[in-house]
Structures are given as C-alpha cells and as structure tokens.
Structure 1
C-alpha cells in the first residue's frame, strides 16, 4: 500500500489548514506492524489510524472496528485526534451515529452528530483515567529539557502524569508568554519521555475557569509538536477534576495549535458520577 491509499483528514478544525492532520486507512487487513509504521512515516503526520475487523461481539456490524495508531516511529496506545478524524470519515461514508473502537488502550465509544448545517462532530469517551505523581528528579529534567525555569510554572497546578489512554506529563505555565516560548531540547526530552513512558508533554495556560491554551511536544513520535491532541485533552480533563481545579461536572474549551499556525478547538466534557472524559471536535478532509 502507498500513501496514495491513505485518507487525509484534519481533526478539531473545519479548516484543512487548521487542527491536527491524521492519516486514515479504512481497511488495513493484511498489513503488519512494519507496513503500518512505514505508511505512517511516509505520510509524516503525528499519527495514522488503521482499521481492521473488531473482536467478536464488540458492537453492531459495520459500526465496530479494531483501531490502531502509528506515529512515524512506533505504535501509540491511543490517539484522540485520529479517533475523531476516523469517526468523521466513517460517518461521511456510512452516516452519523454510534461507533465503537477496540484500541490498544481499551474500548472507546464514539458518537457522531450532524448539525443543521451538515457539520459532523465526533465525541469520544475515554477509558477510565488516573493520575500519578512525578519524581522530583524527573520533573527537574523535564524543565531543563524545556528550558523552563521552575519559577515560570503556575503553582495552582501541581505537575503530574495523567492518563486517559496514554500517559502525559502535565505542566502549567504561569503566563501565556511562557507557553508561547517553546524551544526545547528534542533529544533530551525524548529520552526522558521514553524513560517515563510518556506520549506527550501537556503544557497549558489557564485563560479562565473553562478556557485553556495547550501545547504538546511529541518528540517520542518523531514530531516536534502535536497541533491538537485529543488523548492529552482527555488526560487533562481528568487531572483538572482530580485536583479540584474544575468541578466534577464541567464543559471546557481547549485552544491548541495557535502558536504553530494550525489553530484547533477541542471540547472536554466531565460528567457527574462518570470518571471517564469526553472529548469532542469536528474534522474535515484534506484535499
């Protein structure tokens, strides 16, 4: 298979020049891991999604799939933007409604709704999230790799590792200017992330109680920065709730990709009594 057989969509934006591009192979039957890595590397996006038949009994025929994600370097346990893009691509082909994906991180249901103007919006529900503390020496190394003085962190947000399908180190900047000045040591940060089994580093700045600006270095995937990161958005939602930074039920808006010239919008929903996190966004095909 060549990259000509891969669909190209951008997620979390209605503009092909915004959001986060993803490759999608709607039928990856017969492709082995090496072939999928090669396709992802040839495409060059942060992730490419590959669909195959679902495990027996997963869901309604034609609405359930096995979904795997590959960066240009390796498989990723979960990718939110590629999930949203894939769900929209399937909805364009088969109609909106309920989908379910068996991913390496677990079962991820997705609902695709169609607005009155025809816009499709996908909402994924994460696997159950958790957070954990980060060792002081690991935090010091992360800040050194980022060239962020510890004094530039927002003390209201404790540095933590958050998981909602993939692991992300959450660090909050005290100012928007600090977040905008991202110029890090690629190899040094990648080495630490491999040691901690991190997918991205979730950098954030709080504009208001419900609006956040985020950036996600992704050197372990061979990409300097991810333009819009659904898995990190889910992890961030769980983190914010666990540490009392938002309510147990909340609707949040994340701006990402602005500093890269690829603006995107991610919706994060927390529901009372449900530990899982919902992440939503649009997607559009790239010609």
Structure 2
C-alpha cells in the first residue's frame, strides 16, 4: 500500500514495540481526525488492514493535561471499534513526539483516562502508558473448555501453576498459560468458533502465555473478533497480563516483566510491563518507529 492508496491524507503508519519497521505490531495513526465520523474511521481502519488504527480529536471538557497534549482517542479494528488498544497508543505517542517533542500526553479513551510519557533513549523514542484501573475475574470452567476446544488444546496443555482468568486493563482478555513453548508455538484454531465465544464473553483477545523465567514471558494473542487471526504485539493484553500475574502471585509486587511477542509470526517485538506497590495500575512500555511508505 502506498500513500496514494490511503483513504485519508493524514494517515500515518507506525510499528509499536520494535525499532524495526518489520517487527512489532503495525498501527494506523491519524493525529487529527476532526471531521471523520464513525463510518469514515472504520473505513480507514479496514483499508489499512492493521489490527487497530488510532484517531485523535479534541479532548473532552475537563480532561486536564498540558494544553495541546491532551486528546480524545478512538481505536478501530478492521471490523469494529475497540475500547482501548495499547500498541496503537504507543504508536500514536511516538508519532506525536516526532512532531512535537517527547513529554507527557493525556488520552481520553472509551475505557478511561490513559497517561502516556515519551522519552528519548539513545536517539530512539520510547513510550510508556499507564493503564486504567485493572481487574482480574474468574473464568467459568465451561468457557475455558470451549476456548480450549476452539484452539485445539487439551487441559493438560495448560500450566497448572497459573489458572485461567479474565483480566482487564482497558479491555477484557482471557489469559491461558501454556505448559510448554512448543504448545505456544503451534497455533491453529477454529476462527469462527473462537469468535463466537469471544463475542459472548466480550473478549478483545485470548492471551496465550508461556513462562521462560521469573520475569520473562512469551505471549500470543488470537484476535478473531477484530478480523485478524493474531495480533503481533498487544499492549492492552500486556497490561491485563501484568494485573493477572500480580493477582495470582506469579511475580513480585514490584516487578519489571519482559514479554516477547510476534516471533512466531515473523514480527518479533518486546513489551515491558512494570508493576509497582504504590500504584495498582500497570505500565506498559515500548519503542516504535515509522513504517516507510514502501514498507
């Protein structure tokens, strides 16, 4: 796709959670979506075909934040609007910082207010979002059984030390922890069957996790409800996973976790999840870079 093909002249293309345009998770970014209605935003997202595209408009009254650095943001997948998207938030913040400098942004999302900070490290920009207040909920046994059937997994494929849960940090994700790396690597699922259950449970993705070490995890995120087989690097799910890992006592209360995602798709990315005892919200950090027009 070239710039001539894009349905709106202000569309930008960035990848998040990687400094390589061929890695991480691509997102569309429109820094000024004034005048674009829902149908136009959905059409742009569908034309781009990325898992999400972010659209900035003026902030709601009373949001606060630094003038010129506070916005309303909406996220559209190729098929529907989603309440929150982490990788598109990181991409948007880096796109904004390239034009207006590093610093703080305040974003009003459908899920709540999300602060983002962009810093420059070694000549590269890195963004950190702070999630809305997270929650971790029980997952019904029947629902877990149905998800496993859709994935083609057995109950014995799960890590018995980490029970399935629904985790929220802006969007709902069912977290399933695989017992082995090979189980995580072998992903082939019933698209329609998983879509139906995810819609019934209001899930954005199913986050599949394998633990490499105390603080290092590998993750994958089927995203059929967005019209995408798999999301390459999922910031919202990373935030939800941070809340899940803390709730289940899998990590220390103060912890910095590294999540590797996308390698099985040929788009490796790295997400940093920070948990703090002085704040129940979860921080997700990553790099980002613009995708060339011929990329």
Residue of structure 1 aligned with 2:264, choices 256, 259, 263: 259
User: What secondary structure, in the 3-state scheme, does the structure 2 residue paired with 1:184 have?
Assistant: coil
State the match for 1:12 in structure 2. Answer: 17
* Alignment of 1:83 onto 2:79: no
Residue of structure 1 aligned with 2:148, choices 138, 143, 149: 143
- Residues 1-287 of structure 1 correspond to what in structure 2 (within 5 A)? 2-58=7-63, 59-115=65-121, 117-287=122-292
Aligned residues: 286
Asked if structure 1 preserves the Cα contact closer than 8 Å seen for 2:135 and 2:169, the reply is yes
How far off its partner does 1:125 sit? Answer: 0.1
Give me the whole-angstrom Cα distance separating, in 1, the residues matched to 2:118 and 2:282.
Answer: 16
Give me the whole-angstrom Cα distance separating, in 2, the residues matched to 1:165 and 1:110.
Answer: 14
Asked if structure 2 preserves the Cα contact closer than 8 Å seen for 1:227 and 1:257, the reply is yes
Asked if structure 1 preserves the Cα contact closer than 8 Å seen for 2:42 and 2:80, the reply is yes
Q: TM-score by structure 1 length?
A: 0.98
User: What secondary structure, in the 3-state scheme, does the structure 2 residue paired with 1:215 have?
Assistant: strand
Asked if structure 1 preserves the Cα contact closer than 8 Å seen for 2:10 and 2:31, the reply is no
Q: Deviations over 1:50-87 (max 9, x none)?
A: 00000123221111000110000000000000000000
Give me the whole-angstrom Cα distance separating, in 2, the residues matched to 1:39 and 1:249.
Answer: 40
Asked if structure 2 preserves the Cα contact closer than 8 Å seen for 1:80 and 1:230, the reply is yes
Asked if structure 1 preserves the Cα contact closer than 8 Å seen for 2:10 and 2:32, the reply is no
Structure 1 segments (4+ residues) deviating >4 Å: none
User: What secondary structure, in the 3-state scheme, does the structure 1 residue paired with 2:96 have?
Assistant: helix
Q: Deviations over 1:250-273 (max 9, x none)?
A: 000000000000000000000112
Structure 2 alignment gaps of length 5 or more: 1-5
Give me the whole-angstrom Cα distance separating, in 1, the residues matched to 2:191 and 2:10.
Answer: 31
Q: Deviations over 1:189-231 (max 9, x none)?
A: 0000000000000000000010000000000000000000000
How far off its partner does 1:4 sit? Answer: 4.9
Give me the whole-angstrom Cα distance separating, in 2, the residues matched to 1:2 and 1:118.
Answer: 32
Asked if structure 2 preserves the Cα contact closer than 8 Å seen for 1:3 and 1:42, the reply is no
Give me the whole-angstrom Cα distance separating, in 2, the residues matched to 1:222 and 1:3.
Answer: 21
Q: Deviations over 1:123-176 (max 9, x none)?
A: 000000001111111111000000001101000110000000000000000000
Give me the whole-angstrom Cα distance separating, in 1, the residues matched to 2:142 and 2:163.
Answer: 15
Structure 1 alignment gaps of length 5 or more: none
User: What secondary structure, in the 3-state scheme, does the structure 2 residue paired with 1:101 have?
Assistant: strand
Asked if structure 2 preserves the Cα contact closer than 8 Å seen for 1:3 and 1:43, the reply is no
RMSD of aligned residue pairs (Cα, Å): 0.8
